[in-house]
Chains A and B, each alone.
Chain A
């Protein structure tokens, strides 16, 4: 996951690397997801997540495209 200064620099990078666009977050969007994803990471009670729990988080953030599909 990489930072880009703007949509233009991202498009230049995709062209230069000859790769398809994946999923793009704005900083506020990614901060919101980070808080949800990592909020309990330091807790002794955090033992990882099941794929069902991951899917729940993705749905909360409307990450429902093919890119976020759980196998």
Chain B
């Protein structure tokens, strides 16, 4: 049976809080234990939140792969914030992490063509000066196969 709407969104909030605190998403069993759900109920909740783009599950599993702007796996987009190292999903999300956390941050990534290191710093809500650019290749209409919610 699917958890009710309030529980679903509480789970979403728990996932984000867990990532902020630990840099990784909770395993399904951690979420089940936190909310007093069975494994099956927690699995259904994760699947429902995946459908609603609240986060993205690794295909064929109940492991959270992305909860934008955070990545659950190591990527070339490092973000140091609140004395923790987070991984972003892409260039945009590397700025999205300090924006989401409302924190100062150091971002380190590489130019996709030259491999040169690109460093950015966010301090007191301002981003450091940089000549770097960010290229979005995919038009918005193709960001998701199901565009009901973003």
A residues sitting closer than 8 Å to B (CB atoms) are 1-7, 9-10, 12-13, 16, 19, 21-28, 30-31, 33-35, 37-39, 41-44, 47-51, 54, 58, 66-71
Contacts and interface: CB of A to CB of B under 8 A. Distances in A.
Given A2-B112, A3-B112, A68 B127 contact: no
B76 to A, nearest CB: 9
A8 to B, nearest CB: 9
Contact of A24 (B69, B114, B120, B133): B133
A49 B143 CA distance: 14
A35 B9 contact: no
B135 A4 contact: yes
Contacts of A39: 99-100, 102
Contact of B90 (A1, A4, A26): A1
Given A3-B118, A38-B100, A41-B100, A27 B127 contact: yes
B1 interface: no
Contacts of B69: 34, 38, 41
A30 B54 CA distance: 22
Interface of B: 9-10, 12-13, 16-17, 20, 52-54, 68-69, 90-93, 95-102, 109-114, 116, 118, 120, 122, 125, 127, 129-141, 147-150
A26 B132 CA distance: 7
Contacts of A34: 69, 92, 95-96, 98-99
B139 A67 contact: yes
A25 B134 contact: yes
Contacts of A10: 113, 133, 135
A62 B40 CA distance: 45
Contacts of A43: 13
25 contacts: A1-B136, A1-B137, A2-B112, A4-B132, A5-B131, A6-B132, A9-B112, A21-B135, A22-B137, A23-B136, A25-B133, A25-B136, A27-B129, A27-B132, A28-B127, A31-B122, A34-B92, A35-B99, A38-B69, A38-B97, A39-B102, A41-B99, A41-B100, A47-B54, A48-B52
